[in-house]
Structure 1
Amino acid sequence: MAEKLRIVLAATPAYREMVFAPEVVARLEALGEVVVLDDPGDADALRAALPGTDVLITSWGAAPLTADVLDRADRLTLIAHSASSVKHFVTDEVFRRGLRLTQAGQAMALPVAEVSLAFTLSMLHRIQRFDHAMHAGAWRDDVPPQHGLTASRIGVVGASRTGVEYIRMVVALGAEVVVYDPYLTDDRARELGVRRTDLDDLLRTSRVVALHAPTLPETHHMIGARELALMPDGAALVNTARSWLVDMSALLNELRSGRLDAALDVFDEEPLPADSPFRGLPNVLLMPHQAAATVECYFEMGEITTDEIERHASGRPLQYELTEAALTRMG
């Protein structure tokens, strides 16, 4: 590499410790000067740091990259987001100025898929219902029939990064899998060992429906009262994606009836209020938006970010580059 880079890392001390292992920091320092900003949301500090900067590493709570901020970026060529979604801070100015953009969301795909699989198995075996009954003092309780994964059709809404990891797991364990995703091709479906179908058919015929679709205008409340009514008695909904996808009021009505089960890691209001009716339902398994929160996932985010910067510095293609067109299809 002919010239050393100036890299600005905008992340809190706690985030840096969680994501950037010492050996990864050493790799960044080998690329050039690393300037640290402790408050990623401080636009004034970012503006002051950008002149002469080649690479900007962003994190949770990043300041929006407006024209006013980017006017100071006289050498900037790459924005490397060390987490997943960039929609809260990336503006049209980024692409208008020809800046390249990458992110580390791939690190989250595997742990979230693992939680989705754990949710799926719990739903099929009614673990959440038995757990609730035993905590209440019962030995057994009246629950819907239990089922095995290999005897069940699993419906996946969205062949996203996480959706694909989840599909690979449930297919490997012997489940029949159907997928609804308007961007999934027949060739790709065959490669994954699944069958494409429409949303209504998926809902009518699946024992567990796992949501892995992105947050887009067209996916808002894609699972509403009509769609939930299509699901057969005893079926279950698994959501480790975003509550944006589900009409949560309609879901609550179905869950209160006891007709469906659900496993949820995401909610309209977070943290979930202490008096939320979801908390008291025996047919609901809850997690506090922590599906991706493994030690390994966080360190992999730092590794991916550093890999991408090294690729950029050596003129190699980025592995996880985001184009403006691709961003419109991502949550």
Structure 2
Amino acid sequence: MTGSADPGRTAPAAGRGRPLRVLVSVPPGLRGQFFPDPAPLLALGEVTFLDDHRDLPGALPGTEVLVTSWGVPPLDAALLDRAPGLRLVTHTGASVKPFVTGELWARKIQVTQAGAGMARSVAEVALAFTMALLHQVHRFDHALRSGVAWAEAERAPLRHEILGCPVGVIGASRTGRAYIDLVRALGAEVRVADPYLEGALGLDELLATSRIVAVHAPALPETRHLLGARELALMPDGAGLVNTARSWLVDEAALLAELRAGRLDAAIDVFDEEPLPADHPFRSLPNVLLTPHQAAGTAQGRRRQGEVVVAEIARLAAGLPLEHAVTEDMLRRMG
């Protein structure tokens, strides 16, 4: 744990009353990415930085605002008893499901998250995945790295441009909309499946008519294995699946069966088990492109996430409604 920030840099903003007591439980490496210029954060009040989540119990007393990152322990009754004045938990990431409990709302503690800052970064990775699958980059790379003869490495399924390509998007989420803007700008013929979007296609029709299917739906009870064996079988031979959202949405075993058969290609950033085991079959398949759940990890995206956190704390201090609040009902419905 580090001590309170330099008092000379933590004066409250002009015109505000007593400064908020803010505890930032974010490891130093990530903290530097979220808050490369710490001045706006430090201006919010009396800020204490915590380097290790394991030190949270001892650091909580007196805290009014808790800034969290991945790996923070569950905020249960025993932990919250240490901070009776806690008013806000603001998460630098998106999903608060791993650590938020009903105790927060029982104690009138508000919760907010910074998922909005990730949308562009994840959408760009989904676009990169799309282009790689269309041009068979993953297959060429796998062939050359595995020592296959040049003539054999040259052989790959027919490649396609994105111009005029039928791209199906499942879920018009923030990230889904950002991805749609990117692929449309490159000339793709976009179709969307989303039960809340007027004029959207049905899921079956979208799957059957798209060369690339990009998953951007939320993780809700009703979207568990939204793409199972029946749905994946609807995709045309040679189609590609892009998943930068949640593994929750795709039946991994059913996808693996299609990939092993060589009928589909896939680019995947999220997995049922993380870290992905070293012996997982995905790792050895030539028709699969893998990244280790890092689609959101750009310098710009991390900075935007930090900006969302700072803005939410400022809104709390000003007595304004939060823009990215998570309600108890929302948490209950999260996968």
Q: TM-score scaled by structure 1?
A: 0.89
Q: Distance in 2 between matches of 1:303 and 1:85?
A: 17
Q: Give the conservation status (yes or no) of the 8 Å contact 1:158–1:211.
A: yes
**Deviates most, 211-220 or 116-125:** 211-220
| Partner residue of 1:6 out of 21, 25, 41 | 21
**Deviates most, 74-83 or 102-111:** 74-83
| Partner residue of 2:88 out of 78, 81, 86 | 78
2:112 paired with 1:102: yes
**Deviates most, 116-125 or 215-224:** 215-224
Letter in 1 for 2:286: P
What is the DSSP-based 3-state SS (H/G/I as helix, E as strand, rest coil) of the residue aligned with 2:53? coil
2:303 paired with 1:299: yes
| Partner residue of 2:150 out of 132, 138, 143 | 138
User: What RMSD over aligned residues (CA atoms) do the two structures have, in Å?
Assistant: 2.0
Q: Distance in 1 between matches of 2:276 and 2:19?
A: 47
Q: Distance in 1 between matches of 2:132 and 2:49?
A: 43
Q: CA deviation at 1:263?
A: 0.7
Q: CA deviation at 1:330?
A: 4.7
| Partner residue of 2:35 out of 20, 40, 46 | 20
Q: Distance in 1 between matches of 2:205 and 2:99?
A: 37
Deviations 1:49-70 (A, max 9, x none): 233x221111111121222222
Q: Give the conservation status (yes or no) of the 8 Å contact 1:37–1:45.
A: no
What is the DSSP-based 3-state SS (H/G/I as helix, E as strand, rest coil) of the residue aligned with 1:214? coil
- The equivalent residue for 1:224 is 228
Q: Distance in 1 between matches of 2:144 and 2:190?
A: 32
Letter in 2 for 1:29: L
- The equivalent residue for 1:50 is 61
Query: Percent identity at matched positions?
Result: 56
Q: Distance in 2 between matches of 1:153 and 1:120?
A: 11
2:273 paired with 1:262: no
Q: Give the conservation status (yes or no) of the 8 Å contact 2:115–2:305.
A: yes
Q: Give the conservation status (yes or no) of the 8 Å contact 2:25–2:56.
A: no
Deviations 1:263-295 (A, max 9, x none): 111222222222222222221111121111112
Aligned pairs for 1:196-211 (under 5 A) are 196-211=200-215
| Partner residue of 1:250 out of 243, 250, 254 | 254
What is the aligned residue count? 317
Q: Distance in 1 between matches of 2:25 and 2:157?
A: 50
- The equivalent residue for 2:239 is 235
2:218 paired with 1:180: no
- The equivalent residue for 2:314 is 310
Q: Give the conservation status (yes or no) of the 8 Å contact 1:214–1:329.
A: no
Q: Gaps spanning 5+ residues in structure 2: where? A: 1-15
Q: CA deviation at 1:14?
A: 2.7
For the structure 1 residues 169 and 330, does the alpha-carbon distance in structure 2 shift closer, same or farther, using more than 3 Å as the test? farther
Q: Gaps spanning 5+ residues in structure 1: where? A: 187-194
Q: TM-score scaled by structure 2?
A: 0.88
Deviations 1:13-63 (A, max 9, x none): 333233222x3x2222222211223322445325xx233x22111111112
Letter in 2 for 1:159: A
